[in-house]
Structure 1
């Protein structure tokens, strides 16, 4: 009897043990399968997907986990997240839209604001009071001292004529000679103050100081101390930057869109938030030989001297026709290899990507030809942050699988 009980017990154990082993194996396999369900991707390269943590083979960044089976095609952000991302929305609607041609331009010095200073007499430069370019010069500021025997002789002539006119007051000829001698000195660049000082001292001097005729910036120095200059020889060049020319290149196909007196918008590179209005003053009637372009020109004010000659600028040449079109801000459109899309607020705090087709665009706005309807709430700022957040959380491009 005992032998039969022992045999039954052994058989029961032999049958139960394989079942327990199989159950444990299945549990372990299920656990391993669950662990494998967690995948990882690169924040910068979402095409990199691995079953475990590691580094991106492209950029070396640490991979981040994401839920591969998360099929939601929208993002949900709370009020604090929206504020942190600086998300703003607008309601899509039709606006008066004028397509503009972008012309490449540049800022150049206005020659009408340039002063060329030349020597009034022949002589030797004894002293230069301005010895470098780029420094500002005020009107009436001394620029250089010159040694001139010619000026000394003219001063002596003026002193003699003045003395004769004072001695023979009844003879008008002496007064005329005095005025003629004075006029010579004035024509040679002497001021009334210098002539009064000459009469006060009653002594001629070959050393004469010349002063700045106007204010400006020294753009060029043509002489050095001790150098001899001829009458009319170049001394220096002063430039005034309170007004600058804008020169822009126009393709022959766009030449019919512009005319003298037309108002255009100018955007200086780096100062996109300060558009300027310019009147077209001149259109070159001939093509540039090397570029086959026509050049237009206008002037803009630069009172604070924040812009310098040589800076790049864009001239927006508006189209003659204006139509009501569905437009949104340029920054609201995301462009990548999959196409163009925008983000729509489908509910409060819930954002969904939508593929769109774009048409003409200006510096500020872009025309939407399909994908949006009037009244849609579109994310105006912060769209790129939503784009990045979607890739990080979903591990895929928002436009993958979508078709226009």
Structure 2
């Protein structure tokens, strides 16, 4: 008998406790949220998945109180609280970047020995020297060149002596001339040699463009093989403008991009098009380089000069707000929306690119009336009315 009574009592206790828990979980008038992360909402008790605090029960009938505030007309006037209707805007932004002028590496010309021989003379021996088109660069003493010239002179002499011969001297002479031109002789040198009828083992090599000596790779008296570099010429028209952009700014630059350039020490602002970007960051820094070509016909701009680049380009059409409308509190971003006259509610948002005094935002809809003036007074009033609960917001 006693055993039966104990079983009945335990069953009754279990039934009462289980029933209460069930009522607590399915109570349709209560939901659970986190005072630190109000975006977390649950229909049953538990812990916040973000901060792991116990969820707080909230009566749905007082739901609006936790996220909204109502002010009198006098309070709105005294707090200078105004709201603006939000729309989409095609924003433009200026991006100012430090830059440096550098040689156009695509315009680098390496002057190589086209035949084996000895460098008899170097006319330019110092990096930075300016060379005009047509100036002599170096002389090379070459036995193969001397032999090729003699062969050409022999063919010309045979053609004159054997006019009715079946040998096609014209084709042979064209081939011999072509070889000498490939080896570095000019048409003028070739004509002078044929006119004099004398071969010369020393050939002068001339510059076919103007530029600055970037590097001298050989010395007078040295023997060079075919293809060996003797010196390199660098043109400065155009010249590169290399702008430094941080990794966080790369997404803002869309190439090709129109830009304005001002060079330190030189008056004026110049238009360029930035059209190339390095595929990787510079070693040991978080900077990348974007570049464009700047016309430099008078050679006024020199490598190493500092410059400023101003890029102005359209950003995506997007929702923007004045920066002052955003409340940032310990990692959280929110705004106040005017629901009706004197009634306001908080809304969590996510901000994006800042352009001037505005910022792109996500989490709001076009047409919403967002408070843009008196935001912090409104937020302070809300905290006062809601007590300590707001002190735990982050």
Q: Counterpart in 1 of 2:122?
A: 128
Structure 2: stretches of 5+ with no match in the other structure: 1-90, 318-354, 358-394
How many corresponding residue pairs?
A: 232
Q: Counterpart in 2 of 1:108?
A: 102
Retained in 2: the 8 A contact 1:121–1:230? Answer: yes
Retained in 1: the 8 A contact 2:258–2:312? Answer: no
Retained in 1: the 8 A contact 2:123–2:138? Answer: yes
Structure 1: stretches of 5+ with no match in the other structure: 1-96, 323-358, 362-404
| Larger CA deviation: 143-152 vs 159-168 | 159-168
| Aligned-partner SS, 1:320 | strand
Q: Counterpart in 2 of 1:192?
A: 187
Deviations 1:42-97 (A, max 9, x none): xxxxxxxxxxxxxxxxxxxxxxxxxxxxxxxxxxxxxxxxxxxxxxxxxxxxxxx9
CA spacing shift, 1:195–1:149, aligned 2, 3 Å: same
Matched, 1:227 2:222: yes
Note the C-alpha offset of 1:99: 4.5
Counterparts of 1:253 and 1:315 in 2: how far apart (Å)?
Answer: 17
Counterparts of 2:93 and 2:123 in 1: how far apart (Å)?
Answer: 54
Retained in 2: the 8 A contact 1:165–1:178? Answer: no
Counterparts of 2:279 and 2:240 in 1: how far apart (Å)?
Answer: 18
Deviations 1:252-278 (A, max 9, x none): 33222222222012222233x412211
Retained in 2: the 8 A contact 1:259–1:280? Answer: no
2:172 to 163, 167, 177: 177
Counterparts of 2:119 and 2:243 in 1: how far apart (Å)?
Answer: 42
Runs of at least 4 residues off by over 4 Å: none
| Aligned-partner SS, 1:100 | strand
Note the C-alpha offset of 1:151: 0.5
CA RMSD of aligned residues (A): 2.8
CA spacing shift, 1:128–1:287, aligned 2, 3 Å: closer
Matched, 1:261 2:259: no
Matched, 1:279 2:312: no
| Aligned-partner SS, 1:306 | coil
Counterparts of 1:260 and 1:172 in 2: how far apart (Å)?
Answer: 61
Matched, 1:147 2:141: yes
Note the C-alpha offset of 1:201: 1.8
Matched, 1:305 2:299: yes
Counterparts of 2:313 and 2:193 in 1: how far apart (Å)?
Answer: 65
Q: Counterpart in 1 of 2:51?
A: none
Q: Counterpart in 1 of 2:76?
A: none
Note the C-alpha offset of 1:311: 1.6
Q: Map 1:2-401 onto structure 2 (within 5 A).
A: 99-170=93-164, 171-271=166-266, 273-318=267-312, 320=314, 360=356
Counterparts of 2:176 and 2:298 in 1: how far apart (Å)?
Answer: 44
Note the C-alpha offset of 1:152: 0.6
CA spacing shift, 1:289–1:130, aligned 2, 3 Å: closer
